[in-house]
Structure 1
Amino acid sequence: MAVCAAFGLPEHTGPLTPIAGSAEETWRLDTAAGSFLVKRPAAQPRRLPDLAIAISVENRAAAAGVPVPRQLRPVTGRGPLADLGDGHGLVRAYEWLEGGPPADGDDVSAWLGTVLAILHRPEPDGDGGGGGDGGGGEAEPSQDWYGVQPLAAWLELVERGETGGHDWAPSLRKRLTLIGELTDRVVAAFAACGDPVLTHRDLLPRNVLMAGTTGPVLIDWDTAGPDCATLEAAHALFVFCEGPDGLPRRDRLSKGLAAYHENGGILRPSPFPLARRLGLRLALLAERARVALGIQQAPEAARAAAAARVARDADALPASSDRLLSLSPLFTSGH
């Protein structure tokens, strides 16, 4: 098998087994030397420069003590990427870790605050990142990462929905003014960002693996890149501390904030610390509309499910956005 040869592994003991639910092509590989995860990062070769930055961020984080999966190195070449010669792009390989995301009873808030602080420490040269394999680069966050799109794009979705007779179109049209106002808030928070860093950028529970006795491990670094430290920290702490009522558990939030501050993290003043959380909700609403319209390809069942959610999410937007705005003062250094 080509992947075994590329990474200097003994012959496989079974086929490459696809892993369901991954956004990228990902497999489990079993060999006489153990099991490994093999993945092909998406959108090659266009994303290769971004991937080089992501690899650099991951290596820097690992060197600083962030728990990450052990990478395998190809027999030839520089860095962790291997060309299998199949014409489908480069692959990476990691040691396989058993486990799953944190359960509701797993309080990882202090761990998260520590990891965030490590990720947000400036490099000695002050560029916010770099070093490691494959290059680096200056931290230049983009508002695209915050789900920002012009109001004209929303209007096009509404008009296509109306033309197609979709039940959700009136609800979405009703919220266009609010969507424009909320987008302006997200853009303003992003523009006020004064702490650009190179970081993980996708700190969600699904990207934390509770790996037995080793504790939490941060996985899926392929989208690592430039972001705003304060906005990433507020978003991650909110998501990991969120309770079943949609509100942050105050005890967990306090522990997470304390760990962040104790390890050097600084939450800068922001007009809207939870801007990324709101931006992602707007982005998800737009994505569901695109799926429902068939603009974004998906199975028929997924299209039906998306259509059912658009009106519900649009109708809930005033209350959900007000909640995020009211909770933002919790995510300050003075809390």
Structure 2
Amino acid sequence: MSIPPAEHVADAFDLGRPTGPMRAHRYGSSETWRLETVSGAFLVKRLWTGEDPSWRPALEAAMVFEGACTAAGVSMPTPVWPVDAAFGCAARLPEDGVVRVYPWLEHRTVEVTDDLAEWLGTTLARLHRTAPISGSTPEPEWYGIFPAARWGAWLREGIVQGRPWAAVLKERLPDVLRASRWVAEAFGVTGHYVRTHRDVLPANVLITAHGPVLVDFDTAGPDSAPLETATATLVFALRGGAEPDRDQVGRTLAAYEREGGQPLPPREDLLARRLGMKLGTLSERLDKTLGHAPAGSWDLGKADLRAAQQLEEIPVLLHTLRRWSSLFTSSSMSQGVRLSRLRGVATDDHRGAHPWAHD
């Protein structure tokens, strides 16, 4: 896939004359580059090439939500608007697809020693009050929930192709279906649905001279506020350890409530979203290794092996997430009482490092 000419991007967004070609920055789900012009440095992100995908309306809605979050006080970059928008803040280049642009932020990535508890709780609360959803329950599209027939189809094709994960999926299929039911039921009963970021992870936080900044709103959409809060709090509290940092959990939830977030319900399935995210990533690996989706930046050999490992880990992960849910006390308790309870939560013999809990 070709790199868009720097001149085309600069003209589309009125950025001034480029001082050199664009340089590759990061290739996760999308390609990004650094562009330098006489007016400054910019991050360029290609959304897609060719015809508009079926998920363009969801991206347009995500852009609207992104703008609303700026007004709500979320610490985030402000996009550059194109001269002639294809939609939202995106421009269509002559032969190089659809792109969007942000001013470049000088930054570093999140490190284990960064204390982000206060920032995280405040940010989640601001996200969740921006666009509440009333009425019918939205679809759990971010939760990796698939019917048994879909998993059966993956299994059959995996056997035909001789994928390394096929034998493991055959053995673990009952566990996968049980996990899927747990995730679906949690989403259906926990409630408090909102439009939100949906990918609040350390990888989407930049540490700048002015503090942490949340990036990559392109997958924003409907979700359950309590389940997103619990998942994000867990992921940040797990950095560098096999068990969540109870102090960070408590301070994150306290900041969330101080900023107006609703106390989390005391449910055993409060961390089901974390398992749903893993099922979603697993399904993506299966599709890519089977050739149903472009590989992009993925190493398919590693994806095959990682899918097998994830399938093996499902029972332990389900048990671990049930246990960790006890950390998320909810009530109008003061921060001090909450922290004392968190420090008193007992652990059991399953506290060993769990690789799927971190990636």
TM-score, normalized by the shorter chain, greater than 0.5: yes
Q: Is the counterpart of residue 28 in structure 1 residue 24 in structure 2?
A: no
Q: Is the counterpart of residue 187 in structure 1 residue 175 in structure 2?
A: no
Residue from 189, 200, 217 that aligns with 2:197: 200
Residue from 103, 109, 114 that aligns with 1:101: 109
1:228-239 counterparts in 2 under 5 A? Answer: 228-239=224-235
Report the AA paired with residue 170 of structure 1. Answer: A
Instruction: Name the residue aligned to 1:151.
Output: 148
Q: How many residues align?
A: 323
Cα offsets for 1:196-217 (capped at 9, x unmatched): 1111111111110011x21100
Moved more, 29-38 or 89-98: 89-98
Q: Is the counterpart of residue 116 in structure 1 residue 124 in structure 2?
A: yes
Residue from 47, 52, 66 that aligns with 1:58: 66
Unpaired segments of 5 or more residues in structure 1? 129-137
> Could you tell me how far apart the structure 1 residues matched to 2:317 and 2:35 are?
42
Instruction: Name the residue aligned to 2:249.
Output: 253
Report the AA paired with residue 113 of structure 1. Answer: G
Asked if the contact 2:43–2:102 (Cα under 8 Å) also holds between the matched residues in 1, the reply is yes
> Could you tell me how far apart the structure 1 residues matched to 2:262 and 2:151 are?
35
- Cα RMSD (Å): 2.6
**Sequence identity of aligned pairs in percent?**
40
Q: Shift of residue 33 of structure 1?
A: 1.3
Unpaired segments of 5 or more residues in structure 2? 1-6, 332-337, 339-359
Q: Shift of residue 183 of structure 1?
A: 0.5
Instruction: Name the residue aligned to 1:69.
Output: 77
Asked if the contact 1:139–1:197 (Cα under 8 Å) also holds between the matched residues in 2, the reply is no
Asked if the contact 1:140–1:227 (Cα under 8 Å) also holds between the matched residues in 2, the reply is no
Quickly say closer, same or farther: Cα 1:80–1:38, change in 2 above 3 A: farther
Quickly say closer, same or farther: Cα 1:112–1:2, change in 2 above 3 A: same
Q: Is the counterpart of residue 169 in structure 1 residue 175 in structure 2?
A: no
Cα offsets for 1:72-106 (capped at 9, x unmatched): 22335597525355155443211101223210111
SS of corresponding position for 1:81: coil
> Could you tell me how far apart the structure 1 residues matched to 2:96 and 2:54 are?
13
Instruction: Name the residue aligned to 1:178.
Output: 175
Moved more, 48-57 or 188-197: 48-57
> Could you tell me how far apart the structure 2 residues matched to 1:88 and 1:214 are?
34
* TM-score, normalised by the number of residues in structure 2: 0.82
SS of corresponding position for 1:146: coil
Q: Shift of residue 11 of structure 1?
A: 0.5
Q: Is the counterpart of residue 331 in structure 1 residue 328 in structure 2?
A: yes
Q: Shift of residue 66 of structure 1?
A: 0.9
Q: Shift of residue 242 of structure 1?
A: 0.7
Segments of 4+ moved more than 6 angstroms:
none
Asked if the contact 1:71–1:80 (Cα under 8 Å) also holds between the matched residues in 2, the reply is no
> Could you tell me how far apart the structure 2 residues matched to 1:147 and 1:172 are?
15
> Could you tell me how far apart the structure 1 residues matched to 2:322 and 2:94 are?
50
Asked if the contact 1:139–1:225 (Cα under 8 Å) also holds between the matched residues in 2, the reply is no
Instruction: Name the residue aligned to 2:341.
Output: none
Report the AA paired with residue 51 of structure 1. Answer: L
